[in-house]
A = this chain, B = another copy of it.
Amino acid sequence: MPTPTRVPQEERTRVMRARLLEATVELLVERGFGGTSTTLVSERAGVSRGAQLHHFPTKNALVVAAVEHLTEVRGAELAAAASALPAGGRRTRAVLQVLADHFTSPVFTAALELWVAARTDPALMEAVAPLEQRVGREVHRLTVELLEADEARPGVRELVQATLDLVRGLGLADTITDDARRRDGVLDRWADVLDKELP
């Protein structure tokens, strides 16, 4: 007779936290910051109110942890996509596609909800600003690496920053109208420019 399976407490806690954070991201995407409440999150995650409040005592704690969690998940996905990139002439365009996919994904939408809410909520801003800076640095570092760009050369750093501002702008446009075709044309053109400007 097999020994009954025992899931250690630590593992159960980890799974419950992940369920809460994923439910929060889903609600941010579906209903926006204003439409997301801790009650809805605990219902959707199937976690008791008590357990939820123990881990995340406020809505702000929950939404910041959720976007941080999703950022980590997407970071791992980005790294995986990066390892599958082609070499040679098509590489730049493929890198831009990876970035654009990231900035039109649910992680961007959830983060956008958080950014906009934080703009008029100082307590939330205090938590969001450091997260945003850390994520910004990380995505910049990854982009430099993927583009094989040499930031010691003058103008290269600004071109990498411009690339990220561009995909951020494309991400914002995408939340209003699905403009995947227009986006493709812009990215094709920008890849041409980068191939000329980044030796």
**Which positions in A face B, CB cutoff 8 Å?**
30-35, 109, 112-113, 115-121, 128-129, 132-133, 155, 157-159, 161-162, 164-173, 175-177, 182, 185-186, 188-190, 192-193, 197
Contact = CB atoms under 8 A, between A and B. Distances in A.
B115 A32 contact: no
Contacts of A165: 166, 169-170, 173, 186
Contacts of A186: 158, 161-162, 165
Please tell me how many copies of the chain the complex holds: 2
A112 B161 CA distance: 22
Given A119-B175, A169-B164, A176-B132, A193 B197 contact: yes
Contacts of A113: 116
A179 B116 CA distance: 17
Contacts of A192: 155
A104 to B, nearest CB: 12
Given A119-B32, A167-B169, A129 B193 contact: no
Q: Which of A132, A167, A190 has the most CB of B within 10 A?
A: A190
Contacts of A164: 169
A176 B35 contact: no
Q: Which of A35, A113, A132, A165 has the most CB of B within 10 A?
A: A165
B185 A161 contact: yes
